[in-house]
C-alpha cells in the first residue's frame, strides 16, 4: 500500500486573499475556516477525493529561505495563452527564476509571491 497526497499546507500572511485567488485558479471552494484564520479550500466534493485540499495557514513572517515546493497547474478548458491571461487578471504576476524564454511553461507568483508554473498541456477536467 502507498500513500496519497491529501492536503498541501501553505503558510501565508492573508489566508482569505490567497483562498480567493486559489479558488478561482483551481475552481475550488472554501471547505472550512478555523478560529486562528486558517482556511481550507478544495474541490466541491471535499476532502479525500481525487485532488488534495489546500490549507492556507496564517503566518506573520515568511519561512526563511526559498521554498523547495511549488504548484504546477495545467489548463483544462482553454489553451495556455488564454489561461495565462485569466491567471494574470486574477492577480498572478510573472516571476523570474532564471528561465531562458524557451520554456513551454510560464513561471508565475500568486498575490503573496509564492511561485507556481502554468504548464502547456491541456488536461481533461476531473
- CA–CA distance from 18 to each of 33, 96, 102 (Å)? 13, 21, 29
Would you state the pLDDT for residue 17? 96
Question: Rounded to an integer, what distance in angstroms lies between the CA atom of residue 93 and that of residue 79?
Answer: 18
Is residue 65 domain-resident?
Answer: no
40-43 long-range Cβ contacts below 8 angstroms, 24+ apart: 40/7, 43/126
Domain with 85, as residue range(s), is 70-126
Query: At 118, is the secondary structure helix, strand, or coil?
Result: strand
State yes or no: pLDDT of 107 exceeds 80: yes
Residue 97 has pLDDT above 70, yes or no: yes
Tens digits of per-residue pLDDT, 56-77? 999 877 667 677 788 999 999 9
- CATH code of the domain in which 88 resides: 3.10.180.10
Q: Per the structure, how many domains does the chain have? A: 2
Global confidence as pTM:
0.88
Residue 120 and residue 78 share a domain: yes
Asked if the model's pLDDT at residue 105 lies above 80, the reply is yes
Domain closes at, from 60, 80, 111: 60
Position 123 pLDDT exceeds 80 = yes
Distance CA 35, CA 49 (A): 25
Same-domain pairing of 56 and 74 = no
- Verify that 52 and 84 share a domain, yes or no: no
Q: Which of the listed residues 60, 80, 109 is the one where a domain comes to its end?
A: 60
- Domain assignment present for residue 27? The answer is yes
Task: Compute φ and ψ for 93, nearest 5 degrees.
Answer: -140, 160
**Please, are residues 84 and 94 in contact by the beta-carbon 8 Å criterion?**
no
Amino acid at each position: 500500500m502507498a500513500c496519497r497526497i491529501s492536503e498541501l499546507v501553505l503558510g501565508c500572511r492573508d489566508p482569505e486573499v490567497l483562498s480567493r485567488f486559489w479558488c478561482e485558479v483551481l475552481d475550488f471552494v472554501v471547505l472550512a475556516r478555523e478560529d486562528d484564520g486558517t482556511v481550507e479550500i478544495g474541490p466541491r466534493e471535499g476532502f479525500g477525493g481525487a485532488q488534495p485540499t489546500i490549507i492556507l495557514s496564517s503566518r506573520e513572517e515568511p519561512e526563511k529561505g526559498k521554498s523547495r515546493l511549488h504548484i504546477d497547474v495545467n489548463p483544462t478548458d482553454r489553451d495556455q495563452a488564454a489561461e495565462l491571461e485569466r491567471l494574470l487578471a486574477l492577480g498572478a504576476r510573472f516571476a523570474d527564476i532564471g528561465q531562458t524564454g524557451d520554456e513551454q511553461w510560464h513561471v508565475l507568483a500568486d498575490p503573496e509571491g509564492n511561485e507556481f508554473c502554468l504548464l502547456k498541456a491541456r488536461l481533461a477536467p476531473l
